[in-house]
Amino acid sequence: MYRCGIEDCAPGHCWGPAVRDHFLIHYVLRGKGTFTINGRTYKLEKGQGFLIPPNVVTQYQADGIDPWSYSWVGFNGLKAESYLSRANLSLENPIFVYDRDDFVKDLFLKMVATKNLEKTREIYLLGYLYIFLGRMMDIAEENHAFETKEDRKEAYIKKAIEYIEMNYYRKISVSEMCRHVGLDRSYVYSVFKEYLNVSPQEYLIKYRMDKARELLKNMQLSIGDVSRSVGYEDALLFSRMFKKINGMSPKNYRKELQPLSGIVQRSRNR
């Protein structure tokens, strides 16, 4: 990491033509502008960004009416070009788009906020840079692997379900899951309804109740233990939800299991 910052540009503010001796990435927070590199000029706006490679003549300018504000980060290193290539960023393809949420914006703001740190600033900056590059690699991989709209939808569903399966025991929310997938909540809702015919919330609840039925077979666990194990700190709320899904309370469900468990136990003792 060399440096980072945020710039609120005046109308028509221009830098270059000139060169840098390191990699520099700009991410547009609001407004508009143009970026010129390798004989091509790109018009950019909020949610887009551009890469300046070292030793390449570039120029960028804020719009005269709606000037941009951007965050930027400069860096170099033995693996820098390799990581950027995996993120599909290069001299031939210097533009990227990230407008699905505030993830990238928040990363840049965190970089700038490290100016208040004394002993650990360099470590935090490097960490945030790696997270940013990792996110860009994820996006590049998604775009390459899932070429059709339907493929992308199935990939989103799979990623959301995996998140539920790994975190159902915590007090997670649908909003948290959507942030993990990197999509707007309303879009995730529509995809779930289209493919699974249930909302994300309904899927999460049903998955938890399926796990709860399995855990209730273990007579050493109390109802409260089962409740906490599937993400409900409030045992009463868990019981109401369990009854709504299964047609009976956890206590009654367990009572129905007990005769069966007794038969199994007697069979084992013979």
pLDDT tens per residue, range 8-65:
999 999 998 999 999 999 999 999 999 999 888 999 999 999 999 999 999 999 999 9
Boundary-marking domain end, from 120, 145, 170: 145
Identify the pLDDT of residue 100: 84
Based on the fold, state whether residues 101 and 153 are members of the same structural domain: no
Q: At a CB cut-off of 8 Å and minimum separation 6, what does 74 contact?
A: 1, 2, 3, 4, 20, 22, 23, 24, 25
Going by the DSSP 8-state scheme, the letter that residue 63 receives in this structure is -
Based on the fold, state whether residues 226 and 255 are members of the same structural domain: yes
Residue 230 in this model has a pLDDT that exceeds 60: yes
Mean pLDDT for the stretch of residues 110-136: 90
Based on the fold, state whether residues 237 and 134 are members of the same structural domain: no
Tokens found for residue 262? 């007794």
Question: Domain total for the chain?
Answer: 2
Boundary-marking domain end, from 128, 145, 162: 145
Based on the fold, state whether residues 97 and 187 are members of the same structural domain: no
Based on the fold, state whether residues 138 and 204 are members of the same structural domain: no
Based on the fold, state whether residues 127 and 195 are members of the same structural domain: no
* Structural domain range at position 127: 3-145
Based on the fold, state whether residues 7 and 136 are members of the same structural domain: yes
Residue 250, domain CATH = 1.10.10.60
Cross-strand partners of 61: 14, 34
Residue 150 in this model has a pLDDT that exceeds 70: no
Based on the fold, state whether residues 117 and 240 are members of the same structural domain: no
Residue 265 in this model has a pLDDT that exceeds 50: no
Checking phi first, is residue 182 left (phi over 0); if not, alpha (psi -120 to 50) or beta? Answer: left
Residue 143 in this model has a pLDDT that exceeds 50: yes
Question: Could you give the count of Cα atoms lying within 13 Å of 238 in the half-sphere of its Cβ?
Answer: 25
Identify the pLDDT of residue 56: 93
Boundary-marking domain end, from 145, 160, 182: 145
Higher model confidence: residue 180 or residue 56? 56
Going by the DSSP 8-state scheme, the letter that residue 199 receives in this structure is -
Mean pLDDT for the stretch of residues 160-186: 87
Percent of the chain with pLDDT over 70: 92
